[in-house]
Chains A and B, each alone.
Chain A
């Protein structure tokens, strides 16, 4: 099965405010699919419509070729959902939360116990299994929330901004957990406004802006599609870049900037610029410590797309 989910011409309004405008995309099976966009662009509404919480005004959502509206119970059985609000009961322990949501998701009693142990281990909450959810740290609560979404072994896991409000270490934890989930052949749909995260994690990305999908593809495809420029990141031994910056002036150099010990040069002719750089470094009797040539980040692609669309993101 190539596409596990197909969204066709999906629109949703709240009163006069149209949140989703004719949204179309497909989610390939067993991949991590990212929906990125600024806060308020309609990511959460899109996910809630995907799981049938909101009825769409128009359009169609198919899961494994079954239409959502006609197969809601089946679809909720194969989908796990974790929001950014940690949908768990604070007064229940980790185990109790999992047991409760497992029961609600029709997990047979015979397998529920083993599922709980497996999921607890999977999200690394073994030591806190009997702790009340309210006593867990932010990262642990987020992992518990994901565990609750996984308790019924869903084929698709939908995560709404899973790293929101987490510190960098916890964020890294959650991202590696998502990768682990995906490695178990679970299709993951993730939303985020942290574009570099999505870039690291997702196999495919859709850029959502003001309720519209502006572009979609792999991160690499998006970067290539929207930028002919390359970025050269350079660190030298002496870290004296003043002379280098002077010798690089040409129409093909779009931007030169120093970030701490590092020099960033954006150019449309990476090969020629690199030659010039090596020549300059030799002339200064300096040495290259690190050099890296890369395409611009997804953030830049996003900004470029937004500018092109001519609409300011909602709430920005």
Chain B
């Protein structure tokens, strides 16, 4: 233990006394976190330049442009479509929107958005935001058109409702008419209009005329018979017309019934439309992106990745440089021939590195706690996780240190390895865009695994239990690295000395 502490103390003294090492390795990451923290302490994008072109702007296209300007996007109206697209290519604009001339609500009106796909993350974020803004205007238009339709419908319904009494009165009149006709018909049925009453009266009058000379009375009788005959003829005509009238009345009655049913159906159909709210009609299913945590600034979301990047690069660089400096130090040989096991030097290198990184992270977390005191609840879990994560990266860095034979090559090796791990992670491009086979391998990428652990612990505030699968993966890495270091240590020390021997 005394020896271990002695070696660690020596390592610290050497690191601190080497000004460049102290500056780059100890304070560099802290400075980086401070700068990034300050820079990303916002929840919006700033200084986004949007090129816009339309051969003929109108109120609609202008309103979309205005909406974008309201959201602090900087709009540049280009003089031509080519210039606008070229602006994206040259980086003058982040994206370019081309409006059709006199944008209106009709078919074939397409707003084209040109983006620089090489800036993957930015494109996803801005394209979404711009399309949201265009969508807002489109929604407003839909709302206005739909509200007209809904209003017309409601007006038709109320109009029909109000005219229903007229229809009802018509129906009643028709019913009374039909009933009257029926009564007349019934009454007429009792009159035998078929009998030849006129001839019989004429025969009787002729018989009476032969029996009496009262011509005056007979003339009066004959006049009465004529009148009666005329009236009978009229009744006969009426009687023959009644079935026709009755049929018309019945037809009208059924038509009125049909009209009533139709108007009732229209009214009930209009009434049956449950959703008359315009907003609901234009977007019956709404999607709202809800954060699973409370809304925070970019730095809160970036914090786990940022910590991971610092941990990864500092661990890899620090441990590889510490090992290589020790290895190329003339004093290394004296260590090697001292009556000690290799474990002492490997363990002391590991402990020195982990102490430095923990010290750095303690400062970073202290700052974060000052900004966001609720982080304290996850601090214990995060500390345990970081110990495991840092150990894995330090051991990997130590392997690099033992494998390479100069500080320069070890540094390049460490940075390259870190870059590869970073590249195959969610930080640059979503892992979902990788092929299935590569994604399967990448799932074991230490950076991805560690980032997942920290993200879950810091953002979703889960327990260590919830990240056990990831922790097991890291512990697996650690076991492999320890075996590798044990195998490489003797080999690399002697190999390095052979090289020096051969150089002499």
Tell whether, in the assembled complex, residue A87 and residue B339 are in contact, meaning their CB atoms are under 8 Å apart. no
B334 at interface by CB-CB < 8 Å? yes
Nearest Cβ distance between residue B334 and chain A, in whole angstroms?
A: 4
Tell whether, in the assembled complex, residue B330 and residue A81 are in contact, meaning their CB atoms are under 8 Å apart. no
Question: B6-23, CB under 8 A of A: which get 1 and which 0?
Answer: 110010011001100000
Seed contacts A97-B331, A103-B6; 8 additional CB < 8 Å A-B pairs? A39-B504, A74-B339, A76-B337, A87-B330, A88-B334, A91-B13, A91-B17, A101-B334
Tell whether, in the assembled complex, residue A109 and residue B335 are in contact, meaning their CB atoms are under 8 Å apart. no
Which residues of chain A (69-95) have a CB below 8 Å from chain B?
72-74, 76-77, 81, 83, 85-89, 91-92
Q: Which residues of B contact A (CB under 8 A)?
A: 2-3, 6-7, 10, 13-14, 17-18, 329-340, 494, 497-498, 501-502, 504
B2, B337, B340: most-surrounded residue (chain A CB, <10 A): B337
A81 to B329, CA, bound (A): 16
Tell whether, in the assembled complex, residue B17 and residue A132 are in contact, meaning their CB atoms are under 8 Å apart. yes
Tell whether, in the assembled complex, residue B333 and residue A83 are in contact, meaning their CB atoms are under 8 Å apart. yes
Chain B positions within 8 Å of A104 at CB level: 3, 6-7, 335, 338-340
Chain A positions within 8 Å of B338 at CB level: 76, 101, 104-105
Chain A positions within 8 Å of B329 at CB level: 89
Given contacts A87-B333, A88-B330, A105-B338, contact A100 B498 (CB under 8 A): no
Chain A positions within 8 Å of B10 at CB level: 89, 92, 96, 100
Given contacts A44-B501, A92-B10, A92-B13, contact A53 B333 (CB under 8 A): yes
A101 to B340, CA, bound (A): 11
Residue of B nearest to A74 (CB): B339
Chain B positions within 8 Å of A86 at CB level: 330
Chain A positions within 8 Å of B332 at CB level: 87
A162 to B87, CA, bound (A): 71
Q: Which residues of A contact B (CB under 8 A)?
A: 14, 39-40, 44-45, 48, 51-54, 72-74, 76-77, 81, 83, 85-89, 91-92, 96-97, 99-101, 103-106, 109, 132, 148-149
Given contacts A87-B330, A89-B329, A148-B334, contact A77 B339 (CB under 8 A): yes
Tell whether, in the assembled complex, residue A87 and residue B334 are in contact, meaning their CB atoms are under 8 Å apart. yes
Tell whether, in the assembled complex, residue B18 and residue A91 are in contact, meaning their CB atoms are under 8 Å apart. yes
Tell whether, in the assembled complex, residue B494 and residue A81 are in contact, meaning their CB atoms are under 8 Å apart. no
Contact of B331 among A40, A45, A51, A88 (CB under 8 A): A88
Residue of A nearest to B345 (CB): A104
Chain A positions within 8 Å of B330 at CB level: 83, 85-88
Nearest Cβ distance between residue B380 and chain A, in whole angstroms?
A: 35
Chain B positions within 8 Å of A40 at CB level: 504
Tell whether, in the assembled complex, residue B339 and residue A105 are in contact, meaning their CB atoms are under 8 Å apart. yes
Given contacts A14-B501, A53-B337, contact A92 B14 (CB under 8 A): yes
Given contacts A76-B338, A89-B331, A96-B10, contact A54 B494 (CB under 8 A): yes
Nearest Cβ distance between residue B190 and chain A, in whole angstroms?
A: 140
Chain B positions within 8 Å of A91 at CB level: 13-14, 17-18
Tell whether, in the assembled complex, residue B337 and residue A81 are in contact, meaning their CB atoms are under 8 Å apart. yes
20 contacts between A and B (CB under 8 A): A40-B504, A53-B333, A53-B497, A72-B339, A77-B339, A85-B330, A87-B334, A88-B331, A88-B334, A89-B14, A91-B13, A97-B331, A99-B6, A101-B338, A103-B3, A103-B6, A104-B3, A104-B340, A105-B338, A106-B339
Chain A positions within 8 Å of B18 at CB level: 91
Chain A positions within 8 Å of B2 at CB level: 103, 109
Chain A positions within 8 Å of B333 at CB level: 53, 83, 85, 87
Nearest Cβ distance between residue B494 and chain A, in whole angstroms?
A: 7
Chain A positions within 8 Å of B498 at CB level: 14
Shortest 4 CB-CB contacts between residues of A and residues of B = A87-B334, A103-B6, A76-B339, A104-B338
Chain B positions within 8 Å of A74 at CB level: 339
Chain B positions within 8 Å of A105 at CB level: 338-339
Nearest Cβ distance between residue A42 and chain B, in whole angstroms?
A: 10
Nearest Cβ distance between residue B78 and chain A, in whole angstroms?
A: 61
Residue of B nearest to A109 (CB): B2
A58 to B90, CA, bound (A): 71
A48 to B504, CA, bound (A): 15
Nearest Cβ distance between residue B133 and chain A, in whole angstroms?
A: 60
Chain A positions within 8 Å of B334 at CB level: 81, 87-88, 101, 148-149
Tell whether, in the assembled complex, residue B502 and residue A14 are in contact, meaning their CB atoms are under 8 Å apart. yes
Residue of B nearest to A149 (CB): B334
A148 to B502, CA, bound (A): 26
A14, A97, A100, A101: most-surrounded residue (chain B CB, <10 A): A100
Nearest Cβ distance between residue A53 and chain B, in whole angstroms?
A: 6
Tell whether, in the assembled complex, residue A96 and residue B501 are in contact, meaning their CB atoms are under 8 Å apart. no
A109 to B494, CA, bound (A): 31
Nearest Cβ distance between residue A68 and chain B, in whole angstroms?
A: 12
Nearest Cβ distance between residue B322 and chain A, in whole angstroms?
A: 13
Chain B positions within 8 Å of A148 at CB level: 334
Residue of A nearest to B16 (CB): A91
Tell whether, in the assembled complex, residue A45 and residue B339 are in contact, meaning their CB atoms are under 8 Å apart. no
Tell whether, in the assembled complex, residue B339 and residue A73 are in contact, meaning their CB atoms are under 8 Å apart. yes
Given contacts A52-B337, A81-B337, contact A87 B6 (CB under 8 A): no
Residue of B nearest to A75 (CB): B339
A53 to B496, CA, bound (A): 12
Chain B positions within 8 Å of A51 at CB level: 337
